Amino acid sequence: MTSTAVAHPNIALVKYWGKADADLALPATGSVSMGLDVFPTTTAVTLLDQGEQDAFTLNGRVVDDGALVRVERFLDLVRDLAGSDARAAVVSENTVPTGAGLASSASGFAALAVAAADAYGLDLSARDLSRLARRGSGSATRSIPGGVSVWHAGDDQASFAETVPAPPMAMVVVTINDGPKEIGSREAMRRTIATSPFYPAWVTSTTVTVDDMLAACAAGDFTRIGELTESNALRMHATIEGAFPPIRYLNSRSVAVFDAVAAMRADGLEAYATADAGPNVVVLCRPEDRARVATALDGQGAVIESGTGPAARLLRSEGTGE
């Protein structure tokens, strides 16, 4: 039995930064994101014969470190739901630069959730797939639905992501450094919560920003969406920089992209910058402006344009005799 699924990364317009419950992966606040139509992750899950161990291959390489443990823990959740003790082989092709703050864990765990649920014979709703993906990585919750989605804060049942109405939008990804980052978002979130004096204000302000963002999306107000996006990203980075010892993800080249985007706006080209837990910057714009924005950012890093992406989906389900 082999099930294969594909999922895409998402970039938060209102960020998730901090957990209310680490075991259940419940976020401290809601968040809102746009799915990309580039950098897909394709993952195949094959159930193994008795006596075999879980195995994880990523981009053709056998993984035997912490990433395997994370995949095994995730499979344990699926096995619990399915009442199965079968081990599985997970083979994943990830086109996102892994660990560079470009949401590789989002597309990764979303694809794994869809493929593993099918391989283990679970028939989950989109909502339950989103809740399941959440347990792998918080941002993966938002890579199950397509388009622009909100991930609700709440208890285990209520904390899932779903598509919301929004105007057509595009993003231009500026990859400044595609190597692994020095401190992963999971550890950085813990340190921020434990030591940043700005964290309580981050939680209260972001809760308000989520509602403002949903209203702007529903109204199709691109300018407001963009302003809230850039502001929320800078608030997140300020909160992270307030940790002790400090964590700084944006480097001088990242800041140069924020400056270039401000210069575009001054020239009448509407674009807004955001960045996750790494130096890479993602620029939000209207679909008709994406080529101009990409051209204006040429030379700042590797520039890739993206439209709004599709939901995660099952590609193949083989070996059941169906």
Which residues, listed in sequence order, are joined to residue 55 by a DSSP beta bridge?
89
Stretch that binds ligand DP6, among 13-21, 36-44, 198-206, 313-321 (CB under 6 A): 13-21
Build a one-symbol-per-residue string for 144-173: x at contacts with ligand DP6 by CB under 6 A, - elsewhere. Answer: ------------------------------
Smallest distance, ligand DP6 to C-beta of residue 104, A: 9
Q: Please identify which residue in 4, 8, 15, 43 interacts with ligand DP6, judged by CB under 6 A.
A: 15
Size of the site for ligand DP6 (CB under 6 A): 16
* b/e code 193-208 from CB counts within 10 Å (16+ = b): beebebbeebbeebee
Give the other-Cβ count within 10 Å of 267's Cβ: 9
**CB-based closest residue to ligand DP6:** 138
**Residue 12 found at the interface with ligand DP6 (CB under 6 A):** yes
Give the other-Cβ count within 10 Å of 101's Cβ: 25
**Residue 192 found at the interface with ligand DP6 (CB under 6 A):** no
My answer on whether omega of the bond before 245 falls inside 30° of 0, hence cis, is: yes
**Residue 105 found at the interface with ligand DP6 (CB under 6 A):** yes
What span, in angstroms and rounded, lies between the C-alpha atoms of 265 and 299?
19
DSSP of 224-262, one letter per residue? HHHHHHHHHHHHHHHHHHTSSS------HHHHHHHHHHH
Stretch that binds ligand DP6, among 8-16, 83-91, 255-263, 304-312 (CB under 6 A): 8-16
Smallest distance, ligand DP6 to C-beta of residue 318, A: 30
Smallest distance, ligand DP6 to C-beta of residue 19, A: 7
Q: Please identify which residue in 276, 296, 300, 301 interacts with ligand DP6, judged by CB under 6 A.
A: 276
Which is nearer to ligand DP6, 4 or 104 (by Cβ)?
104
Question: Which pair of tokens denotes residue 144?
Answer: 């199950």
Q: Please identify which residue in 43, 46, 92, 139 interacts with ligand DP6, judged by CB under 6 A.
A: 139
- Bridge pairing between strands 55-58 and 88-94: parallel
Smallest distance, ligand DP6 to C-beta of residue 82, A: 23
**Residue 229 found at the interface with ligand DP6 (CB under 6 A):** no
Of 143, 70, 58, 45, the residue nearest 94 (C-alpha): 58
Contact 98, 280 (CB under 8 A): no
What span, in angstroms and rounded, lies between the C-alpha atoms of 237 and 275?
8
Which is nearer to ligand DP6, 17 or 39 (by Cβ)?
17
Interface residue list for ligand DP6 (CB under 6 A): 12, 15-17, 25, 31, 103, 105, 137-139, 185-186, 189, 276-277
